[in-house]
Amino acid sequence: MRAFTTHDGLVMPLDRANVDTDALIPKQYIKSVERSGFGVHLFDDWRYLDPGELGQDPATRRPNATFVMNQARYAGASILLGRENFGCGSSREHAVWALDEAGFRVLIAPSFADIFHANCFKSGLLPIVLAAAVVDELFELVALRPGLCLRVDLATQTVAMAGGRVLDFAIDAHRRRCLLEGLDDIALTLAQAPSIRAYEQRRRAAEPWLFENDTATNSQPSQRT
């Protein structure tokens, strides 16, 4: 997993509450457990005027010019500004994968659905919760100042704006450490490998009969009948 330390990015506003995971990545595109191939289908039903299918070339479809993601001024945006309960609905991890592959590293909203919020950290995205009034301000700034960029610093837990204003955000200490060090669940487990091996050795010594048929540790099969 990519480590997250600081990020400078263009803000794209999505002024909708209760954006669910089916809107983020429609069900017809989640027929793979690989983490690639989903970014082109992010917000698919809003992004295009005609329905799409798995394997269809997006270039053959009619884009919705009014949808924010299709507007030239937000091209290359990597910070998504949303409303409350972002990522609600199903628990599909593909929603986070689609955001990641589309280039988003930071999500800012007043609240996130719990499972979606947890999935973000597992994929290296940073979901930042700010007060609704502050999010309102950011939406106003984006409308008044196209091309608004922010600097996010995870170490100091701050969002810096042009002009010197700094916003603080809270984050769970364990999740913060995992992002800073680029540790996903597998990496966290592997970091405990010496302790795991030591436990296994103690267990084998204390209860050897449990491992008599363990072909990984016995060169000869058991002769017991």
Mean pLDDT confidence for 143-164: 93
On whether residue 112 sits in a domain, the answer given is: yes
pTM, two decimals, is 0.84
On whether residue 21 sits in a domain, the answer given is: yes
pLDDT digits (tens, 9 = 90+) for 78-98: 999 999 999 999 888 999 999
On whether residue 135 sits in a domain, the answer given is: yes
pLDDT digits (tens, 9 = 90+) for 40-81: 999 999 999 999 988 888 889 999 999 999 999 999 999 999
On whether residue 159 sits in a domain, the answer given is: yes
For residues 222 and 204, give the distance between their C-alpha atoms in angstroms, rounded to a whole number.
Answer: 16
On whether residue 198 sits in a domain, the answer given is: no
Q: How many domains does the chain have?
A: 1
Structural domain for 83, as ranges? 6-188
On whether residue 85 sits in a domain, the answer given is: yes
Confidence label for 215 from pLDDT (cuts 50, 70 and 90): low
Q: For the domain that residue 173 is a member of, what is the CATH number?
A: 3.20.19.10
